[in-house]
Amino acid sequence: MADCIFCRIISKKIPSELIDEADNFIVIKDINPKAPVHFLIIPKEHIISLEQTTKAHIVLLGSMLLYCQSLAKKLGLSVRGYKVVINTGSEGGQLVSHLHFHFLGGKKLKFSV
């Protein structure tokens, strides 16, 4: 989508601090971090939110979650812990209408459901 900030980051029209890139998603530093480690894992396909995913997205979602696990190991967070958050919809705290995971760690995070 032309007006989506994440689509513009993916297409390199807007600069970001790229951490990693896979075939179907990118990983960037969050510009407003809530923890010492706060990355965004963003699918390259424009998907508005988790609500718009289907069985066709199983491989994408699985690869993004497994990436979180490997990232935690790489950063030494596997034992200490980390948080993966998917905000969905306006009442769920989603600010950008493009599915993305927040990966947070590096300090004791508050747990809330």
Residue 1: burial class (beta carbons within 10 Å; 0-12, 13-18, 19+): exposed
Distance CA 104, CA 38 (A): 5
Catalytic residue among 38, 57, 100, 102: 100
* Catalytic annotation present for 98: no
Asked if 11 and 2 touch (Cβ cutoff 8 Å), the reply is no
| Residues noted as catalytic | 100
